[in-house]
Copies of this chain bind each other. A is one copy, B any other.
């Protein structure tokens, strides 16, 4: 064993877990924050910003892209990566909902 049993959970649960998992690494959080910081999304220097080797960064970018957190297109001999708002809006909505519900049931809880 060792493989996640995704088939036993709902699509929505798997979708949120996939997004969360992709953000479950500080390098990928750092990448997202860098993409937000720079003005344009022609970001040819992500590698120089991170304390990781180029193949490692490339791999992290691929994971973020697979999860739908960033979009990327080839642009000459560099790459245009940028944040995919929709995914973050989904996360925002999800956690807002949880926070609200948690707040409401505070009373009859520990």
Please name all residues of chain B whose beta carbon is closer than 8 Å to the beta carbon of A40 when the two chains form the complex: 108-109
Among A21-41, those with CB < 8 Å from B are 21-30, 32-33, 36, 39-41
Given A16-B29, A24-B20, decide whether A99 and B71 contact each other with a Cβ distance below 8 A.
no
Among A2-27, those with CB < 8 Å from B are 4-6, 8-10, 13-14, 16-18, 20-27
Most buried by B among A14, A16, A109: A109
Are A52 and B5 in contact (CB-based, < 8 A)? yes
Q: Does A76 contact B (CB under 8 A)?
A: no
Q: How far is the CA of A52 from the CA of B71 in the complex (A)?
A: 35
9 residue pairs bridging A and B, Cβ less than 8 Å apart = A4-B25, A6-B26, A8-B50, A13-B29, A17-B29, A20-B29, A21-B24, A24-B24, A92-B96
